[in-house]
Chain A
Amino acid sequence: MRTFEDDPTLEDLLSADQLQRLNRMLSALCREPVEIGSDRKDGALALEFNLETIGWLAGGSSEQERLAAADLVSFLMMFIAKYRLAANLHHDTTEASYAELQKQNEALKASEARYRALSDQLQEQVDEQVTVIKQAQMDLYESARLRSVGQLAAGVAHEINNPIGFISSNLKVAGEYVNDLREVVPDTRQNRELLDDFTDLLGESSDGARRIASIVSDLKTFSSIDQADYTLCDVNELLASAVHLLQTEYGHDLEILKKPGELPKISGHPSRLSQTFYNLLDNAAQALREQTQESGAEGKAGRILAKTSVDSDGIRVVIQDNGCGIPESIREQVFDAFYTSRPVGSGTGLGLTVARDTVRAHGGSIQIDSREGTGTRVTLLLPVS
């Protein structure tokens, strides 16, 4: 490949036309015609440029004339060559710059593509985050609402506690009075029937009051507003009140099988544990409800198992249902903050995230085994010390 600095030949410097013209002009100046060519003729003078013989000058009437003509040609060649050199250099550098620009352009295109891909990816992430945030807002609203409902419940429970206390004890005293009356009123059939009925009424009322007292007690345990710190907890007791509360909410046709094992007390946060148990039970109950809706009345009987046991790993709490199960596709997400497969308002809104966080805070772990259409088993492991 020729570069700008290659030594020019005669043809590089002058076209055939130009050479002819130069020959004519030189001949006009000399007595005899002069001819420049690339062949060396007799008596021809070398035309040098850059230490290079680029041609031969022949003709002319004398050596002197040839020398003069050759001088003139060298002088001209100098400028022609300068122009050529400059033009060639310009051409070379322009080509080089262009090649460089093209390379840069390619690189820019590549990086633009990279950035576009990155920006698409970012947009995707932003969209994802926006969805998460929207969900979080709804769930926060929901959980705040629930918290205030919980507080209200705790307040109500506290207020109910006193009257239900004296109602219970009054009913008991009233029962004794009825027995006293039996001694003093004439023993007629009508009186007997009246007093028996009276005793039954008081008994039913006592039962009712006892149930109210028990619900109130569960509500108190569950919301445990006054217990902010870790205390020694009886997991069975906490679980039992969560079960009771759930049954109160769902009605007694919800079958919950309790299998409490003998457990040591553990240091824990009672209200958070209660909340966790409640959430898991509530999930189970909803799974049963969904299963019933799907398979209709003739579906198998829904049942929840709440079992506790202890081994060398710690306390194991199993809450198992034979409900609809968790679809494979969302199993990865169930722990995600604020993820829910149900419309807001139908669940506690606190979900498995709270359960997981709580268990972790207690140094334990949570495991979910589920088969769609068959059921779900959630196992909590809580270390003993």
Chain B
Amino acid sequence: MADHSPDDNRLALKVVFYGPALSGKTTNLMQLHSLLNPQRKGELMVLETRDDRTLFFDMLPIGLKGASGLDLRLKLYTVPGQVQHDSTRKAVLSRADAVVFVADSQTAQQDNNATAFGNLEENLEKVGLDIDTLPMAVQFNKRDLPGVVGDAELQKRWAETPWAPLQMASALHGKGVLETFRVLLDRLYTEVDREFALDTDHGIDRDTFIRQLSAASEDSRAYL
């Protein structure tokens, strides 16, 4: 649930990166941290990892100010993908406004993808959310590796779902991360605008929303 406090004119949104263990959720967030240059960007908090694995979650806050003075915040979370951390996943998923599902493209990981997707569906239901109406983007990561399931085949498999077309990414190399994020912002905007009249009340139209929140990556690249 978007957390809106009209008193201090603040709107906090929550985006959760979900997926099987080691699919690259943390990598996505780290890349966003370094690629993004939105109006406002907080610290990337990587919480307590062990052997390179997320034990709790990672969190990156970003934000923008609307013409009305609306203080809009986006908190990006990852969940721990390992099966045993289900209660943590549920806690992080609760009150989410959007989900990025990060799948692993490697052939051997397809079962894990399916399990994680089923788990997402199940947990969404448990926290009172509906997978069919929640804004969501699906990313197939690690495209740079050999032995991944083919692009066309994946697209075909998902063609009939509300999440087509899939986003292809190589998060480790910063590819497809921003694109995925923008697709998500696009879908998220529709819902948030419907509820909070971002455009009419706060002067934030779709383009501004997407551009500002995923902004300046090109600029920051130019700096590098």
Contact = CB atoms under 8 A, between A and B. Distances in A.
Given A93-B91, A96-B87, A50 B56 contact: no
- Size range of the chain B interface in the assembly: 20 to 34
A81 B43 CA distance: 11
B90 interface: yes
A308 B87 CA distance: 82
B91 A92 contact: yes
B45 A81 contact: yes
Contacts, number: 48
Nearest to B44: A78
Interface of A: 3-5, 48-51, 78, 81-82, 85-86, 89-90, 92-93, 96-97, 100
Nearest to B57: A89
A285 B49 CA distance: 94
B61 A89 contact: no
B161 to A, nearest CB: 29
Nearest to A96: B87
Given A51-B40, A51-B63, A97 B45 contact: no
Nearest to A91: B91
Interface in B42-57: 42-43, 45, 47-48, 56-57
Contacts of A78: 43, 45
A50 B10 CA distance: 14
B42 A96 contact: no
B45 A89 contact: no
9 pairs of A and B residues whose beta carbons are closest in the complex: A93-B87, A51-B42, A50-B42, A50-B61, A93-B91, A51-B61, A51-B63, A86-B56, A97-B87
B61 A82 contact: no
Contacts of A100: 87
Nearest to A85: B47
B87 A82 contact: no
14 contacts: A3-B94, A3-B95, A5-B75, A49-B42, A49-B43, A51-B42, A51-B61, A51-B63, A82-B48, A85-B56, A89-B57, A89-B88, A92-B91, A96-B90
Given A5-B75, A51-B63, A51-B73, 14 more contacts: A3-B95, A5-B14, A48-B42, A49-B42, A49-B43, A82-B47, A85-B45, A85-B56, A86-B47, A86-B56, A90-B56, A93-B87, A96-B87, A96-B90
A16 to B, nearest CB: 25
Nearest to B41: A51
Contacts of B40: 51
Contact of B88 (A3, A5, A93): A93
Given A4-B91, A82-B48, A89 B56 contact: yes
A5 B47 CA distance: 13
Nearest to B55: A86
A98 B203 CA distance: 45
